[in-house]
Structure 1
Amino acid sequence: MLRIAVLTSGRGTLLRYAISACYDGVVDGEVVAVATNRDCPALDVAREAAIGSVGAYPLDSYGSLAERDAAMAADLLAAGADFVLVGGYTEVLDDVFLKHFPDRAISVYPTILPAFGELDESIGPALDYGVKSLGVTIHLRAPHSLSDGPIIAQIPIPVDVDDTIESVTPYIAAVEREHLPIVMQAFAEGRVIRDGLKVRIAASKRTVA
C-alpha cells in the first residue's frame, strides 16, 4: 500500500485525482500528506479531504532550498509517507529531499519530454512551434530540475495547427486522470523497475474475477 504525499502549488487537480483513485480502490494507497510552496487552493482541497498532514513551506521562510526541503521531507516522513506525487509544483527539489524517497517521487509533465522541458508553461511554446503531438510524461523526479529524470510513461495526444492551450488542456487533463493511477498502482504492486535511465513496468499479476 502506498502512503502518498502530494507536492503542489496550485488548484490541486492531481491531488484530487490521487484522492479519488485511492478512495475508489483504483490505487492501493492513501494520501497521508500534502505540502505546498505557497498559499494555494490545493491546501483547502487537502483539508476538505481530511488529509492528516497539510502545510505550506514558502521558500522565503527558510535560509535555503536545502533547508526548506529538509524540513518538508521530515514532516512528510513523520506523516508516514513513502511515496511522493509532484503535481503542478513550481519549484525544483533538492537532493536532500529526494534522497528520502529514492525512485519513489514521480512528476507529471504536459509534453513529450525531453522536448519543451524546464518551462513554467510548456503547452503554449510547443503549440507555437507547430508540433503535431503533445502529451503527458510521467517521470521520476530528478534534483534541481522541473522535467529531468527517467521516464516511466508517455502518452501522446495529437494536435492540430489551430489548437490552443484552452482547446488541448481538457485532453491533457483526461490523459493525466486516466494514466496517473495506472502508474501509481504499478508502484503499489512493486512493478516499476529502474535500470539506469530506463524504467519498465512489469506486467500486473492481478486477476479478473
Structure 2
Amino acid sequence: MGDSPLKLGILASGSGSNFEAIAEAIENQQLNAQIQVVIYNNPDAKVVLRAQKFGVPAVLLNHRNYSREELDAEIVKTFRESNVDWVIMAGWMRIVTPVLLDAFPEKVINIHPSLLPSFPGIRAIEQALKAGVKITGCTVHIAHLEVDSGPILMQAAVPILAGDTAETLHARIQVQEHKIVVGAIALLAARSAK
C-alpha cells in the first residue's frame, strides 16, 4: 500500500464537528487520508456546510425513506462509487446492519461518548451523569454488530466536574473526540502503510 492516503467515507447525523476535525488534520498534513464523501441522514444536518467548506461531496440519505438494511445498502453503493476504503461513523445516530459491516469488514470505525464498555447505546453522557461516576470520556473503536462493541483503537478520559450538565460535559468530551478520532485514523494509516 505504501504511502497512499486512506480513502475515508464519513457518516454524520449532526453538526459535523468530528468531520471537521478530520478534514482539518488532513489539510494540515497531520493525517495521510482523504475524505471521498460524507453521507448524512438528517436533512437539517449542519455537516453539509462543513463539507462544502472543505470541498467534500455530501450525499443525503434520509433514513426515514429506508429500512435499516436498505439504508445501509445505499450507503455501501455510495461509498463504493466514491472508492472508499474506511468508513468513519462521526456522530452517526443510526444502528448499522451486517449489510454495511460485511461490505467493509473490520473497516467501520465508530466514535462513542463514553469509556466503553461503560455506557453503550444512546444518551451515554446522561447515563454517566446519572450513575454518578467521576470520570467518563470517549472511545474510537472498530464497529461490530452489537451496539458500541468491537476492538478499541483509542480512548480519552474526561473528568466529571461538580455542576456538570449533559451540555457542559458533552462539550469537553467533544474536544477529546476530535483528538482521538484523528489519532485513531493516523494509527490505521500507519498500520496500512506497513
Same fold (TM over 0.5): yes
Contact 1:28 1:185 in 2 (8 A): yes
Number of aligned residue pairs: give it: 189
Of residues 133-142 and 153-162 in structure 1, the stretch that sits farther from structure 2 once superposed is 153-162
Shift of 1:144: 5.8
2:186 aligned residue: 185
SS in 1 for 2:8: strand
Q: Aligned partners of 1:68, 1:170: CA distance in 2, in Å?
A: 30
Distance 1:174 1:45 in 2: 17
SS of 1:155 mapped into structure 2: strand
* Equivalence for 1:199: none
Of stretches 169-178 and 124-133 in structure 1, the one that deviates more from structure 2 is: 169-178
Cα deviation digits, residues 60-95 of structure 1 (max 9, x gap) = 323x21122111111111111111110111111111
What is the aligned partner in structure 1 of residue 169 from structure 2?
168
Contiguous gaps of at least 5 residues in structure 2: none
Give every structure 1 segment of 4 or more consecutive aligned residues whose post-TM-superposition deviation is greater than 4 Å. none
Q: Does 1:130 align with 2:148?
A: no
Q: What does residue 77 of structure 2 align with? A: 74
Give the equivalent residue in structure 2 for 1:60: 64
| Whole-angstrom CA distance in 1 between matches of 2:68 and 2:48 | 21
2:20 to 16, 23, 26: 16
Name the aligned partner's letter for residue 91 of structure 1.
Answer: R
Distance 1:134 1:32, change over 3 A: same
Q: In structure 1, give the amino acid aligned to 2:96.
A: L
Aligned-residue CA RMSD (Å): 1.8
Looking at structure 2, the residues matched to 4 and 81 of structure 1 have their Cα atoms a distance apart, in angstroms, of 5
> Paired residue for 2:39?
35
What amino acid sits opposite 1:148 in the alignment? S
Would you tell me which structure has more helix in proportion to its own residues? 2
Distance across 2 between alignment mates of 1:43 and 1:76: 17
Identity of aligned residues (%): 25
The residue type equivalent to 1:16 in the other structure is E
**Aligned-residue offset at 1:163:** 2.0
Cα-to-partner distance string for 1:21-62 (whole Å, 9 max, x where unaligned) = 1111111011111001121111222123211x3211122323
Is the contact made by 1:94 and 1:144 (CA closer than 8 Å) also made in structure 2?
A: no
- TM-score in terms of structure 1 length: 0.84
TM-score of the superposed pair, with normalisation by structure 2: 0.90
Counterpart of 1:114 in structure 2 is 117
Residue 125 of structure 1: CA displacement?
Answer: 2.1
**2:157 corresponds to which letter in structure 1?**
P
Cα deviation digits, residues 125-173 of structure 1 (max 9, x gap): 211211010111111112362x122222221122234322233233212
Which structure ranks higher in relative contact order (CA pairs < 8 Å, sequence separation ≥ 6)? Answer: 2
| Structure 1: 5+ residue stretches without partners | 192-203
Instruction: Give, in whole Å, the separation in 1 of the partners of 2:168 and 2:71.
Output: 37
Query: Residue 25 of structure 1 corresponds to which residue in structure 2?
Result: 29
More displaced stretch, 53-62 vs 67-76: 53-62
